[in-house]
Chains A and B, each alone.
Chain A
Amino acid sequence: MGVQLAADSNLAELGNVNLSDSELVYHVRSALKAALEGDTDGYHQLVGVMHHNERLLPEEVALLVTCLKSLSGAVSCINAIHHGSLLAAIFGMSLWNYSSDVMDALVELLTSLAGSNGQFVDLCLDMLVSNFTPPFTFMEALKKPFGLRRKDQVLDHVHSTLKNIADLVPLSPLRLEKIIKDRMPNIYTKEPLIVMYVENMLRLESSAIGELVGSTMLVAIIDRLIDLDVEIHWDDILRDDFGKGIFEMELEDLEGPAGDPLQDVDERQIWLEQLFGENLVAPKLDSLMVLTFEHLKSSHESGRLHQAFETLLQSFQKTVLTAYKSKFAQFVIFYACSLDPDYCGTRFADTLINIFENSNYPEWRMSAVAYLASYLSRAKFVSASLVADMLERLVNWCYTYSKNLNEDLNPKAHKVYYAGCQAVMYVLCFRMRAIVAVPRLRSKLFLMQIADILRHKLNPLKVCLPSIVEEFLRLARSARLFSLPDNLAANGMLESDFSVAFGGPERLDMFFPFDPCLLKKSDRFIRPNFVYWSMVRSTYENDDDDEDEGSSDEDVAEFSGRVNRMEIYDDDTYGGIDDEASDHDLDKFDYSLDKMSITPKNLSTRLYGSDLRGAYLQMPSRIRPSTSPESL
Chain B
Amino acid sequence: MEGLKVADTDLVVYVHPSKAKRIKDAILRELGSMLFKFNETFDGVVLAYEPREPSNLAKILPGIHPYLGVKLKAKLLLFHPKPNMLIEGEVVKLSQQSIHVVVLGFSSAVITEEDIREEFKYKIKHGKEVFVSSFHKRHRIEVGTIVRFLVKSFDEEILHISGTLVPAHTGCVRWLERNSEERSNFDSGVKKRMATEETRDIPYDENVMVDESVPLYAANNRTKKSKRRKNGDE
Contact = CB atoms under 8 A, between A and B. Distances in A.
Contacts of B93: 115, 167-168
B97 A168 contact: no
B181 interface: no
A74 B92 contact: no
A112 B92 CA distance: 13
A115 B110 contact: yes
A112 B98 contact: yes
B102 interface: yes
Interface in A38-78: 73-76
Given A118-B157, A167-B92, A169-B160, A76 B97 contact: yes
B158 A118 contact: yes
Contacts of A118: 108, 155, 157-160
A25 interface: yes
B106 A171 contact: yes
B156 to A, nearest CB: 9
B107 A171 contact: yes
B109 to A, nearest CB: 10
Contact of A171 (B97, B100, B110, B158): B158
A25 B97 contact: yes
A22 B124 CA distance: 14
Contacts of B157: 118-119
A115 B107 CA distance: 11
B49 interface: no
A76 B92 contact: no
A116 B108 CA distance: 9
Interface in B75-125: 92-93, 95-98, 100, 102, 105-108, 110, 112-114
Contacts of A25: 97
A145 interface: no
A122 B157 CA distance: 11
Contacts of A22: 96
Contact of B160 (A74, A76, A117, A174): A117
Given A118-B160, A121-B160, A168-B93, A76 B98 contact: yes
A76 B111 CA distance: 9
Contacts of A167: 92-93
B36 interface: yes
A175 interface: yes
A425 B112 CA distance: 72
A119 B105 contact: no
Contacts of B98: 75-76, 112, 115-116
A76 B113 contact: yes
B158 A169 contact: yes
Contacts of A121: 158, 160
Contacts of A75: 97-98
A170 interface: yes
Interface residue range, chain A? 20 to 34
A170 B105 contact: yes
Nearest to A108: B95
B132 to A, nearest CB: 17
Interface in A76-132: 76, 112, 115-119, 121-122
Interface string A169-192: 111101100000000000000000
A185 to B, nearest CB: 26
A27 B157 CA distance: 32
Given A115-B108, A116-B110, A170-B108, A73 B160 contact: no
Interface in A171-219: 171-172, 174-175
A74 B113 CA distance: 10
A74 B97 contact: yes
Interface string B172-215: 00000000000000000000000000000000000000000000
Interface in A150-178: 167-172, 174-175
Contacts of B114: 76
A506 B100 CA distance: 58
A116 B155 CA distance: 11
B112 A76 contact: yes
Nearest to B97: A73
B112 to A, nearest CB: 4
A115 B105 contact: no
A20 to B, nearest CB: 12
A168 B160 contact: no
Nearest to A74: B97
A171 B112 contact: no
Nearest to B106: A170
Contacts of B159: 118, 171
A119 B158 CA distance: 8
Contacts of A112: 97-98
Contacts of A116: 98, 110, 112
Nearest to A72: B97
B100 A115 contact: yes
A170 B158 contact: no
Nearest to B114: A76
A317 to B, nearest CB: 15
A117 B160 CA distance: 7
B100 A170 contact: no
A171 B113 contact: no
Contacts of A117: 110, 155, 160, 162
B167 to A, nearest CB: 19
A112 B160 CA distance: 14
Contacts of A172: 158
A170 B102 contact: yes
Contacts of B105: 170
A122 B96 CA distance: 25
B155 A119 contact: yes
Interface in A495-534: none
Contact of B92 (A122, A168, A175): A168
Contacts of A174: 36
B159 to A, nearest CB: 6
B92 A73 contact: no
Nearest to A164: B93
A125 to B, nearest CB: 11
Nearest to A122: B158
A172 B97 CA distance: 22
Nearest to B95: A73
A167 B91 CA distance: 11
A489 B96 CA distance: 87
A169 B110 CA distance: 10
B110 to A, nearest CB: 5
Interface of B: 36, 92-93, 95-98, 100, 102, 105-108, 110, 112-114, 155, 157-160, 162
28 contacts: A22-B96, A25-B97, A73-B95, A74-B97, A76-B97, A76-B110, A76-B112, A76-B113, A76-B114, A112-B97, A115-B108, A116-B98, A117-B155, A118-B108, A118-B155, A118-B157, A118-B159, A118-B160, A122-B158, A167-B92, A168-B92, A168-B102, A169-B108, A169-B158, A169-B160, A171-B36, A171-B107, A174-B36
Closest 3 CB pairs of A and B: A118-B160, A118-B155, A118-B158
Interface of A: 22, 25, 73-76, 112, 115-119, 121-122, 167-172, 174-175
Given A112-B97, A115-B98, 17 more contacts: A25-B97, A75-B98, A112-B98, A115-B100, A115-B108, A115-B110, A117-B110, A117-B160, A119-B155, A121-B160, A168-B93, A168-B102, A169-B108, A169-B160, A171-B107, A171-B159, A174-B36
